[in-house]
Amino acid sequence: MIQCKRVYDDASHDDGYRILVDRLWPRGVRKADLACDEWCKMLSPSTELRKAFHGEMIDFDSFSEAYRQELAQHEDEGRRIAAKQRVTLLYGAKNTGQNHALVLADWLRHLKIS
């Protein structure tokens, strides 16, 4: 099971392995206060792609497609995470309906675990 949650939401026992998937540390959150097991910058969008999306130079569909292409370079890391029984991807974005964590979660769900 892979789910997404904002870093500002309370941690839960149901979260399982909690991974921060933002390239930048979220504003207003002290490192000591965030309950996370790992900070995986490798699976976050590149700086260029993140800036293009947040600067509204590309739409969410274009962002998602380009991000999946970036993720294809990190399949081994993705498989490592996807093999865990329960994973919560933590992100700081305000938009809970269109963000990189949702794209990442979908990509992880569709990886073949060997």
Q: What is the mean pLDDT of the chain?
A: 94
Amino acid of residue 22: D
Q: Is residue 114 pLDDT above 70, yes or no? A: no
| Distance (Å, whole) CA 114 – CA 111 | 9
- pLDDT for res 3: 96
Amino acid of residue 2: I
Nearest to 43 by CA among 95, 98, 82, 1: 82
Whole-prediction pTM: 0.93
Nearest to 87 by CA among 36, 27, 42: 36
**What is the arithmetic mean of pLDDT over 87-111?**
96
For the stretch 17-66, pLDDT in tens is 999 999 999 999 999 999 999 999 999 999 999 999 989 999 999 999 99
CA-to-CA separations, 34 to 25, 37, 62, in angstroms, rounded = 10, 9, 31
- pLDDT for res 69: 97
